[in-house]
Chain A
Amino acid sequence: MRAVAFVGRRLLLLALVLAIVSVLIFGIVQILPGDVAVMILGTSATPADLAALRQKLGLDRPAALRYVDWVRGVLRGEWGTSLLYQVPVRPLVLERLERSAVLGVLALGTAVPLAIGLGVVGALRRHRVLDQVIGVVTLVAVSLPEFITGTVLILLLAFRFPLLPPSSLVDPRASLLQAAPSLVLPTATLVLALLAHMTRMTRASMLEVLEQPYVRAARLRGLRPRRVVLRHALRNALLPTVGIVAINVGFLIGGIVVVETVFAYPGLGRLMVDAVNHRDVPVIQVAALLIALTYALANLAADLTYAYLDPRIRY
């Protein structure tokens, strides 16, 4: 029962966060420089054409009224029409979100186990060559921005040694298996950016836990080392890593925007970039809101996982 109340409280909080975020998004979009009407009609448009379009788009109404209309629309599922593409926002955004989610889940699903594995190995081989290599490689990977890592991967694995496709030119009729090769490079770029934090955190907390008396006790009882590490030490060492994973979802979303642009992957991030470039306000607002929602849900998931891993934790 307490668990249900806990989740309920967290969901309420989430709604509040989203409400605040929606005001922020709307406000920021209002003060974006550049005129929507000019973006749509181009520089050759006459002032009369521009004024007519502004009126048609309702841009001449007060911002507060437009905000209320927008929120009401979003709640009703009427997300408006893209100014740029003249199509309904909802199917457009949802299709792109799905694609980004595929990329995000693949990246996170690869990065988390890999980082934990590398962290554990690093802790067990502390200060030995393998540990140093893992440390340096992950640090270099996280220090490079994704557009550099991505471009280097393209130039190396698609241009110099053409092993993988550089872009996501997937035929709409292709099966998932046929599409798979084009997902490798974008996923790898994201994984490289995600590894360092999680690896380091796992390694540090593993080292701490391995020093604990109960681990020594387990060893002294003659348990096999593998069992001691995986069953006894790792579960406790993972706690801080879970928090880092949630933070990394934030990095991941930022990374996806860049990676989708580099690899011409038609996801939510690219849609967002195009929308900002063209002041496509309805798309920017909904996409930003969905991204905020994703981040908030990731944090919620992290909190719940905390509670599961350490029953003492209750908020």
Chain B
Amino acid sequence: MRRDDARTERPEARLTRRQLLKLAAASGALGATLPLPGDRGRAWGQTPRAGGTLKMAWASSPRTIDPALTIQGDEYMITQNVYDNLTRVDERLQVQPMLATKWSSDPQARIWTFTLRPGVKFHHGRELKASDVVFTFERILDPKTGSPGRTALGPIEKVEAVDDSTVRFRMSSPYADLPVNLGVTFGRILPADRADRIVSEPSGTGPFRLVEFKPGERTRMVRFPDYWDRPRPYLDELWQVNMPQHPTQVASLSGNDVQVMFEVPVAFIGALEKAPGVSVVSVKSTSFQPVVLATDHKPFDDNRVRLAMKLLVARDAVIKAVWQGRGTVGNDHPVPDINPFHAALPQRTQDVARARALLTEAGHPQGFSDEIWTSNERVGMQELAVVVQQMVAPAGIKLEVKTVPWSVFNSTVYKKKALYVNNWFGRATIDETVYPYFHTSGSWNEGKYSNPRLDRLLEEGRSSTDAGKRREAYAEVQRLISDEGHYIVSYFTQYVSAMRTAVKGYTLHPLRWCDFRNTYLEA
């Protein structure tokens, strides 16, 4: 059994029980295996059952559990369940309260004030105070910590405790997305009195207490009975197990040795859909694999050539060839349609004649030859390079596919070659979804694209608190990037996962985050 798009599978909280039952009946057998929508377990007439151990299989292995230094999904999975953030980014990328119950800013979005939830306890027994929040962010801002969050969290200048339950953030420039950004992986709140034991004896306010961290093997977390959001969590134990091979994961899931498989590669979906007691679930993700056309290299310094390349790609065919049809068509900018700021621009489609005309105008009537670089260690990248190679050939563009391992890719291809395929996980805020990739000073501007007008719009978008103005600015940003930027974004991928049908109250997140606060195992 398989479900697409979390949006349709998550009934609203305000639905009545009767409506819900109708909905379930309307979707036929689907209703029986729907995960319960978050906190609303009782709407189904089912009380979450306490107890049990849930094991989740991951192909990769975490390296660290220091939230300031985590950069991988397997690490986020651990910190997300051991710690809480001030805010929560929900499955629609909307911000919700968590350790902060409310927040507000001055009209310029320069000073943000957060009110903390009372009665929250750390695993070592102490109560959460504003000074813990200050400690957490000062630690990230300290260059000695070496946290990528120092720039990723936004232009935070100073964090201060107004009183024990109020925290104030001062920004160096206006920043409207701060509440969303505090809900991402770097913003896990740490205890100020354990600065030297963050990795050796982690203590958070989260639903699970970490008891064993063995990278490359398993990480074991147990229920924290004093969690503020009682009666959550329901599970007694939560494990992350590291299993490098997908066939092993598939066999383990069907044998109920593990209950959730983090990610199912396309090739294994068929086998799992047939396995009894297993359900395959998927959600539109924010991840995309761009073809990078570096504007500091010939011939891609000419926008006519970039546009011609974009026009040569038949997007539906690409999705079919690379992802067996599992993906959402992209429009050459990194904002997916699940992002609240997504702009409905006319969809670019294949137009070989126009591409040829553009190439002739740019002085390449016979096309040109180049290398397209890719990596064989991220699913989809190599396939995409080969498909693009074939699709640009009718315009006389001869590409040679060059494949390297991921580690080599990062040091010799990324930001260095003229033409390559890359692999990006999307971000939660609209600012982070576009600014770092396309602002002239952006840290991930791998195509060296620079356009003063775009820079101005990006700055306007991040500093305005007026929702309408922001929407306008970001619509124009998307149009500019789509028409002139250095990316061919032909698709956004789907995040496909699989779990035992007994697992309830676990919803996929478009950012591939794994939250087990509401999860329980049906008897």
Contacts and interface: CB of A to CB of B under 8 A. Distances in A.
Interface of A: 33-35, 38-46, 49, 52-53, 84-86, 147, 151, 154-155, 158-159, 162, 165-167, 169, 172, 261-264, 266, 270-271, 273-274, 277-279
B354 interface: no
B76 to A, nearest CB: 13
A172 B237 CA distance: 13
Nearest to A40: B63
Nearest to A159: B251
B251 A158 contact: yes
B148 A44 contact: yes
18 contacts: A34-B407, A34-B411, A35-B407, A35-B411, A41-B148, A44-B71, A44-B436, A44-B444, A85-B215, A151-B245, A158-B252, A165-B252, A167-B248, A169-B252, A262-B245, A264-B241, A264-B245, A264-B252
B242 interface: yes
Given A85-B215, A261-B245, A266-B214, A169 B254 contact: no
Query: Interface size class for chain B?
Result: 35 or more
B244 A261 contact: yes
Interface string B235-256: 0000001111101101110110
Contact of A264 (B199, B242, B405, B408): B242
B426 to A, nearest CB: 14
Contact of B251 (A45, A85, A154, A273): A154
A134 to B, nearest CB: 29
B443 interface: yes
Contacts of A49: 146
A169 B414 contact: no
Nearest to B216: A274
Nearest to B412: A33
B146 A262 contact: no
B146 A41 contact: yes
Nearest to B55: A169
Nearest to A274: B216
A206 B55 CA distance: 51
Contact of A165 (B63, B71, B148, B255): B255
Given A41-B146, A44-B436, A166-B252, 17 more contacts: A33-B407, A34-B408, A39-B410, A44-B148, A46-B151, A86-B63, A151-B245, A155-B251, A158-B255, A159-B251, A165-B255, A169-B258, A172-B212, A172-B220, A264-B242, A266-B214, A277-B407
B71 A42 contact: yes
A53 B150 CA distance: 16
A35 B413 CA distance: 12
B353 interface: no
A271 B216 contact: yes
Contacts of A151: 245, 247
Contacts of B472: none
Question: For A84, A85, A263, which residue has the most chain B Cβ atoms within 10 angstroms?
Answer: A85
B61 A274 contact: yes
Interface in B377-416: 405, 407-408, 410-412, 414
Contacts of B64: 85-86
Question: For B220, B255, B408, which residue has the most chain A Cβ atoms within 10 angstroms?
Answer: B255
A266 to B, nearest CB: 4
Given A34-B410, A41-B146, A166 B257 contact: yes
A43 B444 contact: yes
A280 B421 CA distance: 26
Contacts of A40: 63
B345 interface: no
Nearest to A33: B408
Interface string B430-447: 000000100000011000
Given A169-B55, A169-B258, A38 B411 contact: yes
Interface in B35-85: 55, 61, 63-64, 71
Contact of A262 (B55, B61, B248, B436): B248
Interface string B143-164: 0001010011000000000000
A100 to B, nearest CB: 13
B370 interface: no
Nearest to A158: B251
Given A84-B215, A86-B64, A162 B255 contact: yes
B217 interface: yes
A270 B410 CA distance: 23
A148 B61 CA distance: 23
Contact of B243 (A167, A271, A279): A167
A257 to B, nearest CB: 11
A173 B307 CA distance: 60
A33 B258 CA distance: 36
B257 A45 contact: no
Contact of B255 (A38, A44, A166, A273): A166
Closest 8 CB pairs of A and B: A34-B407, A166-B251, A264-B243, A266-B217, A42-B71, A159-B251, A35-B411, A158-B251
Nearest to A261: B244
A278 B258 contact: no
Contacts of A158: 251-252, 255
Contacts of B146: 41, 49, 52-53
Nearest to B411: A35
A38 B151 CA distance: 17
Question: For A169, A261, A264, which residue has the most chain B Cβ atoms within 10 angstroms?
Answer: A264
Contact of A167 (B71, B252, B411): B252
B257 A34 contact: no
